[in-house]
Amino acid sequence: MSQKTVKIGLIGLGTVGAGVAKILLEESGQILQKTGLNIELARIVDKDIKSQRPVKLPKGMLTKNLDALINDKSIDIAVELVGGTGFAKDLHIKLLESGKHVVTANKALLAEHGNELYRVARKNNTCIAFEASCAGGIPIISAIRTGLAANKIEAIYGIVNGTCNYILTNMTKKGLSFKAALKKAQQKGFAEADPTLDINGHDSAHKLVIMASFAFGYEFKIEDVHIEGIESISIDDIRYAEELGYVLKLLAIAKNETDGTISLRVHPSFLHKECALARVDGSFNAVSIFGSAVGQTMFYGRGAGMMPTASAVVSDIIDVALGNSVTTFNSLKLKGRSEIESKIGNIQTLTKRFYIRLMAKDEPGVFSKYSKILGDNNISISGALQHEGTGPENTVPVVITTHPTKQENIDKAIKQLTKATFISGKPVCIRIVDIPEDNID
């Protein structure tokens, strides 16, 4: 077997960057033996060259000199791990124009400017590889583009934000409040000091745009995604839904709807407790993909963290070095925006199931009053739960699950219920997602 030497330049020596450096420096022998590739980490650039990192670097490898890396013609592959969408975008363009392939974990950048960057890459006969941008160590991009290539993708359901899943698992299994669960996630290192992008659903939406673009073959944008986060989830609703057999997850969904549109959405979702995704706990990620030939699949693993994400980055480096990523990248064509507009579903017209919780005044006739409002709006009740005992201000919590209902009907009913004198405050409304599990019998 012939050997091939490939030189790597790494930009950004944070947590994941240090993991990548560690694998490239410590496992190069193993990689050479397995693949015939002599992968050589040549340069590392970071603005901080002083802090201790959990990897021992050869002297002089780490510098602040980004231009030297960009201008180094001997470097074949650049690994961008600086994050963000401003500086990183310019950097990608410079690297691609200098003839380097780029490996990245930067989901925000690709979700917002990916289509432009893919064009720059194609123009320069280079490629962008981004396995690490979605679901950490889980090889989901490879599954979508290669392993399931024979399929028309029908739906993607993903738990792709480890921070949110860790928080929801701790609320569900340990009874912590949202605030306490978030604090624990931060203490354990699963949540950033500023967790906004995670808990408001935008991080999941970034990953969804990337997965859905290559699964469905369209240049999707972040604006195509309906996004709701988990900031206002109450432990009460997790408990009531548990009694009805549901578990709460933040799902990223891309789906061929029955009306011919593709819906892209991130929102808190009640899943039936027996469903495979409902059992994905802690900081784990999982993505369930439904294909026309393969049926249901699920891919499960660590969605973040130093080594799992580094695993995906280095696997990409190997695939780029072999030449496969370039071929795959060039073979995949996404349909442009002009073909997309009519395909994007409007969440207002989708017909789905809902969980509604209202605090009703504990007095005669109330039951018939709120159920009349639901009926008047064409909402059919599937299940209901009203415990004895009172909430604040002589109210009782009433929990209702609906049959499939149009979003606009639900919105109208919630508006009327919020105004009603026999209801205290605004009702809580959370979507129920019925994942079509394949029959096991």
Instruction: Provide, rounded to whole angstroms, the least separation between the CB of residue 365 and a second copy.
Output: 46
- Residue 33 or 177 with smaller CB distance to a second copy: 33
Instruction: Provide, rounded to whole angstroms, the least separation between the CB of residue 318 and a second copy.
Output: 5
- Residue 142 or 401 with smaller CB distance to a second copy: 142
179 is catalytic: no
Instruction: Provide, rounded to whole angstroms, the least separation between the CB of residue 393 and a second copy.
Output: 37
- Residue 91 or 164 with smaller CB distance to a second copy: 164
Instruction: Provide, rounded to whole angstroms, the least separation between the CB of residue 106 and a second copy.
Output: 18
- Helix/strand/coil (H, E, C) string of the chain? CCCEEEEEEEECCCHHHHHHHHHHHHCHHHHHHHHCEEEEEEEEECCCCCCCCCCCCCCCCEECCHHHHHHCCCCCEEEECCCCCCHHHHHHHHHHHCCCEEEECCHHHHHHHHHHHHHHHHHCCCCEECHHHCCCCCCHHHHHHHHCCCCCEEEEEEECCHHHHHHHHHHHHHCCCHHHHHHHHHHCCCCCCCCHHHHCCHHHHHHHHHHHHHHHCECCCHHHCEECCCCCCCHHHHHHHHHCCEEEEEEEEEEECCCCCEEEEEEEEEEECCCHHHHCCCCEEEEEEEECCCEEEEEEEECCCHHHHHHHHHHHHHHHHHCHHHHHHHHCCCECHHHHHHHECCHHHCEEEEEEEEEEECCCCHHHHHHHHHHHCCCCEEEEEECCCCCHHHEEEEEEEECCEEHHHHHHHHHHHHHCCCEEEEEEEEEECCCCCCCCC
**Alpha-carbon span 171 to 89, nearest angstrom:** 37
Residue with tokens 């969440």: 347
- For residues 371-397, b (16+ Cβ closer than 10 Å) or e, as one string? eebbeebebeebeeeeeeeeeeeebbb
- Residue 33 or 378 with smaller CB distance to a second copy: 33
- Residue 163 or 395 with smaller CB distance to a second copy: 163
Q: What is the phi/psi pair of residue 53, to 5°?
A: -120, 155
**Residues with Cβ within 8 Å of residue 270, at least 6 apart in sequence:** 241, 246, 247, 248, 355, 430, 431, 432, 433
Instruction: Provide, rounded to whole angstroms, the least separation between the CB of residue 358 and a second copy.
Output: 33
Residues binding a second copy (CB under 8 A)? 1, 19, 23, 27, 30-31, 33-37, 131, 137-139, 142-143, 146-152, 169, 217, 276, 279, 281-284, 291-302, 307-308, 310-315, 317-319, 322-324, 327-328, 330-333, 438-441
DSSP-assigned beta bridge partners for residue 352:
405
- Residue 34 or 123 with smaller CB distance to a second copy: 34
Q: Which of 207, 221, 249, 361 is catalytic?
A: 207
Catalytically active residues, by annotation: 207
